[in-house]
Chain A
Amino acid sequence: MSKLLKKILSAAIFPAALMIVSKVLGMALANRIFDLGWSVQSNTTGLFSIQILYPDRQSAIQCNSYSNLFMITCLLIGVGVTLFQGYFLHSSHQNPKVLIKMLKFDFLVWLSDTPTIFPNMAVWLAFLWTGTVICITQSLQDFTYPWISVFAIVASIVVTWLGVRDLERELDTILPKNGKLNI
């Protein structure tokens, strides 16, 4: 069995679960914070049989927008943790200064013992972009505030850029440069 596929499969379980849980939690929080009235209705025409029903369009948009924002924020935190591991805590980047700082702040638990974190980062970024596409689609349908989509796009671009920079730095350390291996 392919090791890469196994790694991607195991890396995708947590973000997939987080995407669902954060959306549900975001809806619950939005209902609580904005004191929105809601009910559950059964729908026999769609793929799923249960839908959340709001008394008016404004409440539905408000709940959907802030739950999407919460979901994107949770995925961003996941990507952020992976980036953090990539930049500072990955064993390939360790140096005495970083190790001392990690000991000082008790961050040793965050050390990644895997040879590479890029499959993990790619999976997190894929989920983040999926969430962003959902936000954009719903904004075009006038069902999510446009500023949330703009935030999701900007954040996704920034973290993807940071991830690519980290990948380049990693490749520079292991791949031949000017005909000579750098390791």
Chain B
Amino acid sequence: MYTIQKTAKILQEKFGKFLDPFVIFGIVSLFIIPVLVVLNLKPTYNDSPQNNVLGVSENTTVEIVPNTDKADGILIENVEQPDEENYIIIYDISPQTEGTFKNLSFTISNPSSKEHKIQVSPTFVDTPESSVISLMVDNVKFILHDSNGKTYPPTIYVEPGDEIPVYLVIENQEKVNFETNFSLEAIIE
């Protein structure tokens, strides 16, 4: 027992100085470890909690909801949607007297966070040349077909969060005795 203790003491005296770098390393570690832990304990926060919910994604495009109820002889006969941003609305107009006829055509809603524009392209086949056909958006009239038979492709701008009802207005200069059809292509940009 005595020999072991004596040998340990001799070894410590001879080689103890070589342990000093390890002790210095231990001291440095004792300073570095708490600093790293404290820095790592710096809390973080959620920048945009609404966007991080699993299974919920933001709507990025405009929705067009057609009104299929017939009023004033104006009826949406069919709606085709070749892709998410393209609608083709086909109207069926019953024989009408002269005068103005109006029906809610569709509702545009923009749930996204940016402004969108909708490019409307009308196609008239058998519409009387003298009839004025227009879209009424927020009391603003966008003429699609004027009294000279000329057609116009209007652009509707939709702000984020907007929900806009769009009316189709037909102004007949004279009585129309036959059923007519036309189509609108709405492209969302």
Question: Do A64 and B43 form a contact, CB below 8 Å, given A1-B17, A5-B20, A134-B38?
Answer: yes
Does A117 sit within 8 A of B, measured CB to CB?
A: no
Number of A-B residue pairs having CB atoms within 8 Å of each other in the complex: 90
Taking a contact as CB atoms under 8 Å apart, the answer to whether B45 and A55 are in contact is yes
Q: Which A residue's beta carbon lies closest to that of B40?
A: A48
Q: Bound state CA distance, A67 and B38, in angstroms?
A: 10
Task: Report A47 CB to chain B, min CB distance, Å.
Answer: 7
Does B19 sit within 8 A of A, measured CB to CB?
A: yes
At the interface with chain B, which of A15-23, A160-168, A173-181?
A: A15-23
A-chain residues with CB within 8 Å of residue B26 when the two chains form the complex: 9
Categorize the interface residue count of chain A.
35 or more
Q: Which B residue's beta carbon lies closest to that of A13?
A: B30
Does B125 sit within 8 A of A, measured CB to CB?
A: no
Q: Which B residue's beta carbon lies closest to that of A38?
A: B43
Apart from A1-B16, A1-B19, A27-B43, what are 11 other A-B pairs with CB-CB below 8 Å? Answer: A5-B23, A5-B27, A19-B34, A19-B37, A19-B38, A20-B38, A54-B44, A57-B45, A130-B34, A134-B38, A138-B42
Task: List B residues at the A interface (Cβ < 8 Å).
Answer: 12, 16-17, 19-20, 23-24, 26-27, 30-31, 33-46, 49
Task: List A residues at the B interface (Cβ < 8 Å).
Answer: 1-2, 5-6, 8-9, 12-13, 16-17, 19-20, 23-24, 27, 38, 41, 46-48, 51-57, 59-60, 63-64, 67, 71, 126-127, 130-131, 134, 138, 143
